[in-house]
Amino acid sequence: MAVDVVVVGVGYVGLPLAEAAAAAGLSVAGYDTSPRVAAAVAAGRSHVPDVSASRLRSMRASGFTVTTDPEVLGDAKTIVVCVPTGLDSTGGPDLGAVRAAAETVAGQLTPGTLVVIESTSFPGTTDEIVRPILEKYGLTAGKDFSLAYSPERVDPGNRRFGIRNTPKVISGHTPACAKSCAEFYERFVDTVVVARGTREAEMAKLLENTYRYVNIALVNEIAIFCDRIGVDVWDVLHCAATKPFGFTPFVPGPGVGGHCIPVDPKYLLDKAEREGALLGVVHAARLVDDQMPEHVVERVTRLLAEHGKPLRGAKVLLLGVAYKADVPDTRESAAIRIAVRLRALGADLSYHDPVAVTVPELGPPVADLDEVLRTADVAVLLVAHRAYDHGRLASTARLLFDVTGQVPGKEVVRL
């Protein structure tokens, strides 16, 4: 039976997309290679924070299913590929999931289908890597099927912007492909922006995240410098942010993390290197962001020394190990890098996170937060989850180092 859209990769990007399409009245199915994901959806358990269990049950009631059987792709009018793009063991782009998804789609592709890639990658991926795979069985993009690229703009935990009210950049292999892609997204997205081509859309996504990467590096470097000269960086940022033009506020932190910000600029740098170009600003930002976890460790070491305690053997409690507030995702988390480094230097490390799952490399989290707060030599707030009572943290901890700048009080040491 024909289905309006099949989402390939039902994770942080794919499930919210499926939910938005289903809410607009489209018939939606999911394809995922993970039996765990398929079983969770079948049981009505959402594995993605941005889609609640109640909304997932509504989707299920309207016919939404997730399967590990690729034959579902043969019934799709539109196929949207939302698989992750990460880094390989050398730190370079890993398009293994995209290639595998394209191979699977190619084996089921029928004439008239629209195939959209949402996975982030370098300019040329859709045309040079995905298109030849999809055409391997004789169908031609732009003639027998439509091929398009539309970068995902999902921001996990963002309560203001979701799929519908975030402008959607789309592009196509041909103008007709772009038109088909626009018509698809216009059914459940308020604003559709048509890029000149797939390379421009791919590059736009990398620019968006590299912009954040560079500006985070800037304020992190300013924070390090302010610490050196004895200036309150948070007051500096507050004052600068009052300018109503020409300044966009960013805040320092333990280092960049997540599935996009620390990864996407490396796709850009890899492409630039292969093209013989030098993106000096992006390289510089990478150096700064990579050193931020070490700066946090140095601050913890210095703070303990000021209180007559060496780092080795000190009880250090990390508060928050996810990559951002109110999201359970720990991918590329700077907090984990900090934890591993502190432990390597001999700290008696423990951690707590009200939303993230257990981190295997760190062992189980603490069970009694108040007890550990009272006994730890220093507690380090790395992620300001809403579940944390900042006043309670400040009043209970023997010594609180706030990397987030969210905890008020003269007794709190801030980054």
pLDDT single digits (tens) 218-245: 999 999 999 999 999 999 999 999 999 9
Q: Are residues 296 and 151 in the same domain?
A: no
pLDDT at res. 92: 85
The larger pLDDT score, comparing residue 148 to residue 261, is at: 148
Per-residue pLDDT band at 261 (split at 50, 70, 90): confident
Q: Are residues 327 and 396 in the same domain?
A: yes
pLDDT at res. 88: 86
* Residue 185 amino acid letter: Y
In a domain? residue 45: yes
CB-based burial, 9-31: b 16+ in 10 Å, e otherwise: bbbbbbbbbbbbbbbeebbbbbb
Selecting among 177, 181, 226, 260, the annotated active-site residue is: 260
How far is CA 99 from each of CA 13, 130, 181, 231, 280, rounded to the nearest angstrom? 18, 7, 21, 49, 30
The CATH number given to whatever domain includes residue 152 is: 3.40.50.720
In a domain? residue 227: yes
- Which residue range(s) make up the domain with 122? 3-196
- Over residues 379-415, the pLDDT tens digits come to 999 999 999 999 999 999 999 999 999 888 777 898 8
Give dist(CA 107, CA 113) in Å, integer: 13
In a domain? residue 7: yes
> Does residue 271 have a pLDDT over 90?
yes
Q: What share of the chain is helix, strand, coil (3-state, %, to 5)?
A: 40, 15, 45
Domain boundary among 171, 196, 221: 196
> Does residue 62 have a pLDDT over 80?
yes
CA angle (153 as vertex; 148, 156 as ends), nearest 5 = 140
- In the block, tokens 């990658």 appear at 121
Give dist(CA 415, CA 408) in Å, integer: 12
Query: What is the percent of the chain with per-residue pLDDT over 90, rounded to a whole number?
Result: 83
In a domain? residue 206: no
In a domain? residue 284: yes
pLDDT at res. 150: 98
pLDDT at res. 348: 97
Q: Are residues 73 and 218 in the same domain?
A: no
- Over residues 160-216, the pLDDT tens digits come to 999 999 999 999 999 999 999 999 999 999 999 999 999 999 999 999 999 999 999
Per-residue pLDDT band at 79 (split at 50, 70, 90): very high
In a domain? residue 75: yes
Domain boundary among 196, 219, 240: 196
Q: Are residues 41 and 164 in the same domain?
A: yes
In a domain? residue 204: no
Q: Are residues 248 and 150 in the same domain?
A: no
Q: Are residues 175 and 262 in the same domain?
A: no
The arithmetic mean of pLDDT across residues 49-76, rounded, is 93
How many domains, the chain? Answer: 2
Q: Are residues 22 and 106 in the same domain?
A: yes
The arithmetic mean of pLDDT across residues 272-297, rounded, is 94
pLDDT at res. 26: 97
Domain boundary among 150, 171, 196: 196
Q: Are residues 175 and 215 in the same domain?
A: no
Tokens of 271: 């492409």
Q: Are residues 183 and 148 in the same domain?
A: yes
Q: Are residues 215 and 274 in the same domain?
A: yes
The answer to whether 226 is a known catalytic residue is no
In a domain? residue 275: yes
- Over residues 84-130, the pLDDT tens digits come to 998 888 888 999 999 999 999 999 999 999 999 999 999 999 999 99
pLDDT at res. 110: 97
Q: Are residues 272 and 314 in the same domain?
A: yes
Q: Are residues 168 and 141 in the same domain?
A: yes
Evaluate the CA torsion angle 404, 410, 413, 415 in order and state its sign.
positive
Lowest mean pLDDT among 156-160, 265-269, 320-324, 344-348: 156-160
pLDDT at res. 99: 97
List CB contacts of 343: < 8 A, sequence separation 6 or more: 349, 362
- Over residues 338-384, the pLDDT tens digits come to 999 999 999 999 999 999 878 888 999 998 999 999 999 999 999 99
pLDDT at res. 124: 96
CB–CB of 10/30 below 8 Å? yes
Per-residue pLDDT band at 262 (split at 50, 70, 90): confident
Give dist(CA 335, CA 229) in Å, integer: 25
